[in-house]
């Protein structure tokens, strides 16, 4: 069992039965405990792009860090964060955009060419060419501890 004492200004002191203690903000305690409950950092997002501009990204959850997205050519998008994507411990997943008739289907692929970048390729339904615009797709990047 652990003993928890609440101190002023959202600060807590937690002491376990071995006498080890944690002192800090309640939000820091939640992050600390979460690192044991979820064995990975996560970046969950929606991405879309039009014309020749950098993609627009809505971030839903981010425990990885400040990921910077850029356009790197037609249908080619790059996420950059220095040394964040650990080799053999990074997992990526994307949704794809398919209209009901299938005529304008787009298929996006995401992979990690380096430990500092993740690349998304957006292709036509035949996987024959990189295309724009990038219709809204959802993705998740996990970096396991």
Taking only the tens of pLDDT, the chain with its 145 residues reads 566 666 667 777 777 777 777 777 777 777 777 666 788 999 999 999 988 889 999 999 999 999 999 999 988 999 999 999 999 999 999 987 766 566 667 788 898 999 999 999 888 878 778 888 888 889 999 999 8
| CA 54 – CA 70 distance, rounded (Å) | 5
Does the global pTM surpass 0.85? Answer: no
Q: Where are the beta strands (DSSP E) in the chain?
A: 3-7, 11-15, 21-25, 40-49, 56-62, 68-71, 76-80, 90-94, 106-114, 117-124, 134-144
- The total domain count for the chain is 2
- Asked if 130 and 99 touch (Cβ cutoff 8 Å), the reply is no
Residues 13 and 57 grouped into a single domain: no
Residues 79 and 122 grouped into a single domain: yes
Residues 96 and 121 grouped into a single domain: yes
pLDDT number for residue 35 = 65
| CA 122 – CA 109 distance, rounded (Å) | 7
pLDDT number for residue 3 = 64
- Asked if 49 and 132 touch (Cβ cutoff 8 Å), the reply is yes
Residues 32 and 46 grouped into a single domain: no
Q: Which domain range does residue 55 map to? A: 40-144
pLDDT number for residue 144 = 94
- Identify the CA nearest to 60 among candidates 80, 75, 81, 42: 42
Q: Which residues is 107 bridged to in the sheet?
A: 123
In the block, tokens 């356009």 appear at 71
Residues 33 and 53 grouped into a single domain: no
Residues 44 and 29 grouped into a single domain: no
Residues 46 and 27 grouped into a single domain: no
Residues 25 and 77 grouped into a single domain: no
pLDDT number for residue 65 = 95
| CA 8 – CA 26 distance, rounded (Å) | 11
Q: Where would I find the H helices in the chain?
A: 26-37
Residues 46 and 30 grouped into a single domain: no
């Amino acid at each position: 069992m652990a003993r928890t004492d609440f101190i002023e200004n959202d600060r807590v002191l937690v002491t376990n039965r071995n006498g080890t203690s944690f002192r800090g903000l309640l939000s820091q305690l939640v992050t600390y405990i979460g690192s044991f409950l979820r064995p990975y950092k996560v970046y969950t997002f929606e991405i879309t792009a039009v014309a020749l501009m950098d993609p627009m990204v809505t971030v839903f959850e981010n425990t990885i860090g400040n990921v910077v997205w850029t356009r790197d050519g037609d249908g080619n998008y790059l996420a950059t964060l220095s040394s964040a994507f650990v080799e053999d411990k990074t997992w990526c997943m994307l949704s794809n955009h398919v209209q009901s008739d299938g005529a304008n289907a787009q298929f996006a692929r995401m992979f990690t060419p380096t430990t500092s970048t993740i690349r998304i390729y957006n292709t036509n339904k035949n996987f024959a060419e990189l295309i724009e615009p990038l219709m809204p797709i959802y993705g998740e990047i996990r970096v396991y501890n």
